[in-house]
Amino acid sequence: MIGSGTFLGVVHETGGGIYTVVLETGERVDASLRGRLKKQDRTGRVVVIGDRVEVLVDGNEVTIELVAKRQTELVRRGRGRAPKILAANLDHVFVVIALREPRGSTQLIDRMLTLVHASGMRPLLIFNKADLEGTEELEETWLTLYRGLGYKVLVTSVPSGEGVVELHRELCSGTSAFIGPSGVGKSSLLNVVDPGLQLRVGRLSQKTGTGRHTTVGSRLITLECGGLVADTPGFGDVGLWSVDPEKVGSHFPEFAESAVSCRFRGCTHLHEPGCAVLEEVGKGAIARSRYESYRFLRAEAEEQAEY
């Protein structure tokens, strides 16, 4: 046991009112929240994994006294629900999508990219299951589209090992999180990067692990190479979110350049005459799939805003 005193640390695990903090000294301690913080914590937003905290150790009693201002927050938003902060101070967010089984769509990719952008971070894309037959064409199309937009993209495969060295390199610095639908291979990719992890793989086990009636906390997994990866139920579920409808367009980086030339200020790029974004879509300079995602997500955001 460490001596009494005040220590700085990072929250690695939460759940059931207990917060596991890894201190600067390297020790792991289980802490509770100081009363004042506890009162604010009803929404589960005061202390999340990745938070930098000050911990007071007083004999056997360990309490989190202070939470440092966050650099970033990954937020999941849901219909009619308060936004939930999934992790703080992430350095990388990987949006994982499968080329097949289950086959992703540009709308799903754009939805997750928007979610990450709205959290103020720059996502990396992973197209997984590149080993499966008949995925070459889709891989090519998506690579061209998303690399063209300036995103860093990795094509990966668990059985063939494609892209794994690059992924490993990205994961070994700082704190990362994977988001993406269930079954795309998030756990499998982590297992291949660090075989010691032995995370459960497969849809079924995932369901029982994160089912509605089981309370599962969130944690940061420490990779052998030193990187940290967030493992949180709910990263797969980005079905609904609420972003200010007016801001949806700002999360589509390629709209920005032409949007300044729209005839009307506050142009929604939906129907206005003299809309430069629509013009670029017509010319093929902005991908139609991206524009369609924009329309869809904006409509969804409008609907959400009514709640």
Ligand X SMILES: Nc1nc2c(ncn2[C@@H]2O[C@H](COP(=O)(O)OP(=O)(O)O)[C@@H](O)[C@H]2O)c(=O)[nH]1
CB atoms within 10 A of CB 66: 14
Can you give the binding site for Mg ion, defined by CB under 5 A?
A: 186-187, 206
Q: Which H or E run contains 129?
A: none
Q: Report how far residue 226's alpha carbon sits from residue 6's, in angstroms, rounded to the nearest whole number.
A: 25
Binding ligand X by CB under 6 A: which of 67, 153, 158, 223?
A: 158
Stretch near Zn ion under the rule CB under 5 A, chosen from 18-26, 177-185, 223-231, 265-273: 265-273
Bridge partners of 127, per DSSP, are: 97, 155
Q: Phi and psi dihedrals of 23, rounded to 5?
A: -80, 160
- Going from the C-alpha of 10 to that of each of 19, 175, 236, 278, 299, the distances in angstroms are 10, 11, 24, 46, 39
Q: Phi and psi dihedrals of 38, rounded to 5?
A: -60, -40
Binding ligand X by CB under 6 A: which of 188, 218, 232, 268?
A: 188
Binding ligand X by CB under 6 A: which of 206, 218, 232, 268?
A: 206
| Window 185 to 244, contacts with Zn ion (CB under 5 A) | none
248 binds Zn ion (CB under 5 A): no
Give the chain's largest Cα–Cα span. Answer: 70
115 binds Zn ion (CB under 5 A): no
269 binds Zn ion (CB under 5 A): yes
Q: Indicate the DSSP class of residue 109.
A: H
Binding ligand X by CB under 6 A: which of 114, 187, 268, 304?
A: 187
185 binds ligand X (CB under 6 A): yes
Cβ at position 230, least distance to Zn ion in Å: 37
Residue closest to 163 by CA, chosen among 133, 185, 182: 185
Residue 255 CB contacts under 8 Å (≥ 6 apart), including other chains = 249, 269, 277, 286, 294
| Window 104 to 133, contacts with ligand X (CB under 6 A) | 128-129, 131-132
Report which residue's Cβ sits closest to ligand X.
185
Q: Do β-strands 5-15 and 218-222 pair in parallel, antiparallel, or remain unpaired?
A: antiparallel
Considering the complex, state which of residue 187 and residue 304 has its C-beta at the smaller distance from Mg ion.
187
Considering the complex, state which of residue 141 and residue 198 has its C-beta at the smaller distance from ligand X.
198
201 binds ligand X (CB under 6 A): yes
129 binds Zn ion (CB under 5 A): no
Considering the complex, state which of residue 176 and residue 242 has its C-beta at the smaller distance from ligand X.
176
Q: Indicate the DSSP class of residue 2.
A: P
Cβ at position 267, least distance to Zn ion in Å: 3
Considering the complex, state which of residue 63 and residue 206 has its C-beta at the smaller distance from Mg ion.
206
Considering the complex, state which of residue 186 and residue 290 has its C-beta at the smaller distance from Mg ion.
186
262 binds Zn ion (CB under 5 A): yes
Q: H-type helices in the chain, by residue range? A: 35-40, 106-118, 136-148, 164-171, 186-193, 203-210, 253-259, 276-283, 288-305
Partner that binds at residue 89, options ligand X, Mg ion, Zn ion, none, CB closer than 5 to 8 Å by kind: none
Cβ at position 257, least distance to Zn ion in Å: 12
Contacts to ligand X by CB under 6 A:
128-129, 131-132, 157-159, 182-188, 201-202, 206
